[in-house]
Chains A and B, each alone.
Chain A
Amino acid sequence: MKTQLSDLLLNDRGFAFDPVRGETYQLNTTGLVLVKMLQTGMTEAQILEAMQEKYEVDENTARRDLEGFFDELETIGWKA
């Protein structure tokens, strides 16, 4: 069973409670920003652009890390 990202309980330090599995997670600052963007319904392309505006990161690194991070969320069982 998947957990809707909108159902996650987040605090501003990246602590996340998944009410479907009863598990807790720790996001780092970048992870938290990305999950919040996903919660607002932004697309992957929009997030990629937003990341480069916000952080000192080049497109390749951002794309690689974003894809890796989405995979990770999928493995956990979270979906947008």
Chain B
Amino acid sequence: MSRLPYTRPTVQRLNAGPVNPFRLGTSPSCSEIDGVSVESLANDFGSPLFVFSEKALREKYREAHRAFSRRYPDVQFAWSYKTNYLNAICHVFHQEGSIAEVVSGFEYEKARGNGIPGNQIIFNGPYKQLHELQRAIDEQAMIQVDNLDELLTITNLAKGRSEPVAIALRVFLSTGDHTVWSKFGFNGDNGEVMQVVRRIIATPQLRLQGLHCHIGTFILEPDFYRIAAKKMVGLALEAESLGAPPIRYLNMGGGFASHARLHLQYLAAEHSTPSLDRYAEAICDTITQLWPAGRTLPKLYLETGRALVDDAGYLISSVVAVKKRHTEASTIHTAMSAYGKGGGAVTIAASSKNALVLDAGVNLLYTATWYQPRILPARPCLDAPTATTVYGCLCMNIDVIREEAPLPSLTTGDRVVMHPVGAYNVTQSMQFITYRPAVVLIGEDQQVHVIKKREDLSYVQELELVPSHLA
């Protein structure tokens, strides 16, 4: 007699109300990425494995570019290197027409190495070293000044040059009810920016050509950009009224949300992430309405990072152990009992949850601190999802990728796919107790290309030295 397919036994307490036990349904799964089987990717390139979809990168870029260029005559995207500076990823965006946005000398060199001329590099960041500024000036990069020290350094470097050095100012603004990123640039709300503008106007070696703001990241509210754009236009016109030359560009930075989901975010990404059209509308309509009639609109730069790359990135990982996680019964005292009224204590029944250990840890998923990646089994599963704790493979108690992910009963050797993980994880991943995985790109023709090899012992130890008395 042939045996039946197996699923792990489970029992789940039902809460009155929302759950209809007969309609728990089956679990969603992800067995292919762009038509390539997840199992074969893991077999061919190892597990864990970062996977990027070239098709998704290009489609997202085109969607973003279309959203803005439909509404505004002069738009230029600059690829935010820090979001993901694997050269292959940068090349995709450069091929699509993006220039580069960098925040350090290292990133500047990387962009130059990728064939981007200096005058197509936007140079941001609070720490630009002297020799880096010198090179940026020589190569006519778009320097966006962060602080007064930098401004003074540039002024010194500009002395004796035949042409004034063109610069822009980084500005921070309050735009709504989220944190103001006041670490960077000059205050656009209290007059500080205009003091700096006056100083620039009084310095013949400098020429103000643009203003830049980056109001934050994963901004779910397009209206914040409406407020930012309004303030930026106001600042540009005020600077001109003080005697600055016409402001040639406004740079609205990045910050558009991807389809990631924050911890504690109730709605799924499909219901909370605004379309790129809504951001484009907020920015372009505001500038076009407020810019003085008859004058050429300033060039609009965008440094969109996560919204372009996050959804194109996946992490394949394997289940290496299956565990249970027990929680004792407990009583919590509500405000009612503190108030001296009876009946305020609520008993939470003892429960036990499934838990999994994966072969990838939070060292590869830096963004799991703020976002809950979707975790999908790589094979169709017969049973309904239950709340499952997903641990990483590090020897640290904090290595929890998801406290509660809805997963069917998986077993050792099963593959899972985490998504979206394309933004910031590759650039911020740490090497810790294991090797960082390979990264592959699935081309539009479904060919799989390794774009970063898996680390090995000699790579990790390459820069180490053992003093001779210890050898």
Enumerate chain A interface residues (CB-CB to B < 8 A).
13-16, 21, 23-31, 33-35, 53-57, 61, 64-66, 68-69, 71-73, 75-77
| B411→A56 contact, CB < 8 A | no
Are A75 and B412 CB-contacts (below 8 A) given A29-B383, A54-B3, A65-B9? no
* Chain A residues within an 8 Å CB radius of B10: 27-28, 30-31, 69, 72
Main secondary structure of the interface of A (DSSP, over half): helix
* Chain A residues within an 8 Å CB radius of B265: none
Task: Provide the B112-140 mask, 1 if CB < 8 A to any CB of A, else 0.
Answer: 00000000000000000000000000000
| A16→B11 contact, CB < 8 A | yes
| A75→B352 contact, CB < 8 A | yes
CA gap between A61 and B5 in the complex, in Å: 13
CA gap between A28 and B9 in the complex, in Å: 6
Chain A nearest Cβ from B330, distance in angstroms: 13
A14, A30, A54, A71 — most chain B CB neighbours (10 Å): A30
Main secondary structure of the interface of B (DSSP, over half): loop
Closest to B353 in A: A72
Chain B nearest Cβ from A12, distance in angstroms: 11
Closest to A13 in B: B22
* Chain A residues within an 8 Å CB radius of B161: none
Closest 8 CB pairs of A and B: A55-B6, A31-B9, A30-B9, A57-B6, A69-B9, A26-B21, A72-B352, A24-B14
| A13→B21 contact, CB < 8 A | yes
| A28→B7 contact, CB < 8 A | yes
Chain B nearest Cβ from A3, distance in angstroms: 12
CA gap between A61 and B7 in the complex, in Å: 10
| B352→A66 contact, CB < 8 A | no
Given A28-B10, A73-B11, 15 new contacts (CB under 8 A): A23-B349, A24-B14, A24-B21, A25-B14, A26-B24, A28-B409, A54-B4, A55-B5, A56-B4, A65-B8, A65-B322, A66-B9, A68-B324, A69-B8, A72-B352
A-B contact pairs, 22 of them (CB 8 A): A23-B14, A25-B11, A25-B13, A25-B14, A26-B11, A26-B12, A26-B14, A26-B21, A28-B9, A28-B384, A30-B6, A31-B11, A55-B3, A55-B4, A55-B5, A56-B5, A65-B8, A68-B322, A71-B324, A72-B10, A72-B324, A75-B350
Chain A nearest Cβ from B328, distance in angstroms: 9
CA gap between A35 and B9 in the complex, in Å: 10
| B11→A69 contact, CB < 8 A | yes
How many inter-chain contacts with C-beta < 8 Å in the A-B complex? 96
* Chain B residues within an 8 Å CB radius of A28: 7, 9-11, 383-384, 409
Are A30 and B22 CB-contacts (below 8 A) given A55-B3, A68-B324, A75-B352? no
CA gap between A80 and B21 in the complex, in Å: 24
Chain A nearest Cβ from B346, distance in angstroms: 15
Enumerate chain B interface residues (CB-CB to A < 8 A).
3-14, 19, 21-22, 24, 322, 324, 326, 349-352, 382-384, 409, 411-412
| B8→A23 contact, CB < 8 A | no
Closest to A14 in B: B21
CA gap between A75 and B350 in the complex, in Å: 6
Closest to B19 in A: A26
Closest to A21 in B: B349
* Chain A residues within an 8 Å CB radius of B409: 28, 65
* Chain A residues within an 8 Å CB radius of B383: 28-29
| B5→A27 contact, CB < 8 A | no
Are A27 and B11 CB-contacts (below 8 A) given A61-B412, A71-B324, A75-B326? yes
Closest to A24 in B: B14
Chain B nearest Cβ from A64, distance in angstroms: 7
* Chain A residues within an 8 Å CB radius of B7: 28-30
Chain A nearest Cβ from B386, distance in angstroms: 9
Chain B nearest Cβ from A42, distance in angstroms: 14
Closest to B383 in A: A28
CA gap between A27 and B350 in the complex, in Å: 17
CA gap between A33 and B21 in the complex, in Å: 17
Are A34 and B9 CB-contacts (below 8 A) given A28-B384, A64-B322, A75-B351? yes
